[in-house]
């Protein structure tokens, strides 16, 4: 079956612009994570959705970052007023619980 998909695969934007990154999880998966990964670094947790529970937003680095998950399926990560330090690969993962995670291919964001 289809895995986790993310779009766009690459995004180049100018400093100060807003960007939206999309994640389509595996159908039926109730858990969804967003991570950020800078080159050669580990996975930085951003936000966790689990079913109808309030999302765990404890990893969002600033109020410029927000995420939504509509209808328990598709999720959008929005970064407002992008900064150069926001440049990274943004990874989405989904799972049936919060445990085993299936990752998408990521969106590579470059802020000029």
Q: Per CB under 8 A, does 100 bind other proteins?
A: yes
Q: Per CB under 8 A, does 99 bind other proteins?
A: yes
Work out which of 19, 69, 79, 106 binds other proteins, going by CB under 8 A.
Answer: 106
> Within 13 Å, how many C-alpha atoms sit on residue 23's CB side?
34
Q: Per CB under 8 A, does 72 bind other proteins?
A: no
Number of residues that bind other proteins (CB under 8 A): 23
Work out which of 5, 24, 73, 103 binds other proteins, going by CB under 8 A.
Answer: 103
Q: Which residues pair with 91 in a beta bridge?
A: 35
Are 23 and 104 in contact, with CB atoms under 8 Å apart? yes
The DSSP-derived string for 58-100 is: TT--STTEEEEEGGGS-EEEEE-S--GGG-EEEEEEEESSSSS
Judged by the rule CB under 8 A, the positions of this chain that interact with other proteins are 31, 33, 35, 41-43, 45, 48, 50, 53, 56, 91, 93, 97-106
């Amino acid at each position: 079956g289809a895995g986790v998909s993310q779009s766009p695969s690459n995004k180049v934007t100018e400093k100060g612009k807003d960007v939206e990154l999309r994640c389509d999880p595996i159908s039926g998966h109730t858990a969804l994570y967003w991570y950020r990964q800078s080159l050669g670094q580990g996975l930085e947790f951003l936000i966790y959705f689990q079913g109808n529970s309030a999302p765990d937003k404890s990893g969002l680095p600033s109020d410029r970052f927000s995420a939504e998950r509509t209808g328990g399926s598709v999720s959008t990560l929005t970064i407002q007023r992008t900064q150069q330090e926001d440049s990274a690969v943004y990874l989405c993962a989904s799972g049936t619980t919060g445990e085993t995670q299936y990752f998408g291919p990521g969106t590579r964001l470059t802020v000029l």
